[in-house]
Structure 1
């Protein structure tokens, strides 16, 4: 262990900052249009009252992603290997979830990219632009070239960051209000907003893809533990600034004027209209570019990262070796899931979403974060991980806190899904 760790540690020490990448991909993938609108609505309804929730959400995701990354680096195994070691029940949950989730998410992701493109270039419909975006995503990730994904996400994150932070700066934020918003408080009637903002910062299933992106990056030993933690923390600090900017826009631009926006992706179209009315057409169009970048980065990350997870899942079911091409990037099951994400969901873009599928998607999706949190607590406290890298008291406290939080959020989401 000493001979393999030391060279990697030396490499990491010399160039930590130049190596940052997988964290940015997982954070960019996790921040979608729906999450931004939830934060925007929170700002429009409660001004800066829920700013602390954004910070909490970033901390929760740092803890979860660090746990997934630590398991992968400490053992050289994927997170699915850890889940499988807990018993067949994990496969019974994960199999239907990843199939149903992929079908519904594929349609939502393509529609999410189509909305801003249609607003910018109305020559084609939302559906046509969404299909084009899905095909572009397929082409970019088909061969499984992680370097290309990382560069594309870096460009898209840059566009997202510049547009949303720029919009926040234009509103001339109230700095004392921002500081006051860091004090935890729950305004009357805001509990659902609290949970949606804190729970929605930075992703769901894509958090578990982090270990796969570490492998694609070439970070595969305990010697990369330090750079992984830097990478993860920096990525979510950037995400936090981005989402805080979204809340500032909601607080300064919408709260003071009493303007409401729609839930879902269309809320960002509403915001682009408000920006255009207030600051000129150029600001609305620039914001639409940022909206598209947020949606496209999520699409690309899922098309690659969740496809890697699916290939690993099928490889486990078919009992092939962990280094078998079928379980790796660019393999046949990886490509099969990309096709599943891209083509069958196109039918939903034209025909709408079957109610039973939406119910299953809502219930299984709500359960994923508590599933991830509780399995990480289980895995990281046992001999599945070398003693040096097992949870200490702080990690256990934070992960147990994540588990409780996401169980409460899951209960509310399941109730809302079944009721709606």
Structure 2
């Protein structure tokens, strides 16, 4: 990675020759090649972006399934669990961005400084995820599309969706990629907000709906609670946040507040999206005996939703479902290729100062790994997603977040880290909680995998 200390500094002194009658302007020193700090007139929100990419990538069909399933059984009583999940995932994401700004190194390079075996393990984990990720999400997106347009066959549609998603990642530099992902995020967010508003406006028992907001802890169903907490947001997207921060040019402490605001906006949008999904689920499913089981159940919800809210709501739901999965696929391809190329660079011992040719979106390793993800997606789609591969994918994916949480606890408490970047008490508590929570979820997932093998 590029060192934190700039090689040259551009000094702009606008106080030397001020315009007649104008007040003196401040002196501005910043490294060449970095974007200027946000001005007071525009505000920090004008430069946000990686957080929206993360939200578009992380909010997928899994979030819709878990939130709708929770709402079917408990109404809105488990929103507290979703809120905890958002806070924990925000702490992880902020720590990933802070680590890059503190050291100029990505999270994979940081893992290598904790243990030389960690980048190798991470590389293996992500290889397995990349093997089935494209096939799983393109099949889900095709399911939503074929439900909306029954004339479209699922398998050829899945192939086309995987190819289009890979093409978006291949041709776009980061700026274009960020714009596309922001549009995806805005579209699916607005779609779910409209559905939530329509649900509230047409429900027969609004008092009962809002009374279900009372927090509760389900007896004998802690797995559902843990799944809600851990299921909000993504996995690969969190680990990849530092790459998007790097592409944005946030490399020093002057951007620390902007990075924190950016990641906070990401999880605020995520929480609002899941809140709207919970409202829809509570209004349509709570107390009816109907439930959601997997992505097929999610697609099947479209018909009763249309019967209750009208055909326009059915189309809007399926369109939102499709965009949710498509944006997760595009963002996931991008994130996986960054993680794979950076892991390979770290294993080969390429210095951080020479990272750009080895892990940028236009680099050969990035594009070769993109080809790997696409070919794997097509192969697994035609093979019909064999069960053992799916179980392996789920088990391996569950190990990433506890590994990431533990590494961040070590890396951001080192004495060599400047105090402004070092973990404070709150950060250590949240990262420790994240390590325990995702460790428990990993054990549960591994037990289910072994039991289902």
Q: TM-score, normalised by structure 2?
A: 0.87
Distance 1:85 1:96 in 2: 18
Q: What is residue 11 of structure 1 aligned with on the other side?
A: 38
Contact 1:12 1:227 in 2 (8 A): no
Is 1:101–2:129 an aligned residue pair? yes
Q: What is residue 218 of structure 1 aligned with on the other side?
A: 249
Q: What is residue 92 of structure 1 aligned with on the other side?
A: 120
Match of 1:312 among 321, 325, 342: 342
Counterparts of 1:320-339 in structure 2, within 5 Å, are 320-322=350-352, 323=354, 324-339=356-371
Bigger helix fraction = 1
Higher mean displacement: 288-297 or 268-277: 268-277
Higher mean displacement: 198-207 or 155-164: 155-164
Q: What is residue 207 of structure 1 aligned with on the other side?
A: 238
Distance 2:62 2:421 in 1: 35
**SS of residue paired to 2:301:** helix
Q: Cα distance, 1:120 vs. partner?
A: 2.1
Distance 2:147 2:388 in 1: 31
Measured against aligned partners, the alpha-carbon deviations of 1:345-367 in whole angstroms (never above 9, x if no partner) come to 21211222334433332221111
Counterparts of 1:291-302 in structure 2, within 5 Å, are 291-302=321-332
Measured against aligned partners, the alpha-carbon deviations of 1:212-238 in whole angstroms (never above 9, x if no partner) come to 001112222222110011111111111
Cα RMSD for the two superposed structures = 2.1
Q: What is residue 22 of structure 1 aligned with on the other side?
A: 50
Q: What is residue 290 of structure 1 aligned with on the other side?
A: 320
Q: Which has the larger radius of gyration?
A: 2
Is 1:160–2:192 an aligned residue pair? no
Instruction: Point out where structure 1 has 5 or more consecutive residues left out of the alignment.
Output: none
Contact 2:84 2:229 in 1 (8 A): yes
Q: Cα distance, 1:317 vs. partner?
A: 2.2
**SS of residue paired to 2:399:** helix
Is 1:274–2:283 an aligned residue pair? no
Contact 1:71 1:79 in 2 (8 A): yes
Q: How many aligned positions are there? A: 417
Contact 1:68 1:79 in 2 (8 A): yes
Relative distance call for 1:233 and 1:182 in structure 2 (3 A) is farther
Counterparts of 1:18-417 in structure 2, within 5 Å, are 18-172=46-200, 174=206, 178=210, 181=213, 183=215, 185-263=216-294, 265-322=295-352, 323=354, 324-383=356-415, 385-417=417-449
Relative distance call for 1:105 and 1:262 in structure 2 (3 A) is same
Q: Cα distance, 1:10 vs. partner?
A: 4.7
Distance 1:214 1:107 in 2: 28
Contact 2:108 2:119 in 1 (8 A): no
Distance 1:139 1:38 in 2: 30
Q: Cα distance, 1:249 vs. partner?
A: 1.2
Contact 1:9 1:223 in 2 (8 A): no
Relative distance call for 1:217 and 1:10 in structure 2 (3 A) is closer
Q: What is residue 21 of structure 2 aligned with on the other side?
A: none
Instruction: Point out where structure 2 has 5 or more consecutive residues left out of the alignment.
Output: 6-27
Higher mean displacement: 112-121 or 291-300: 112-121
Q: TM-score, normalised by structure 1?
A: 0.94
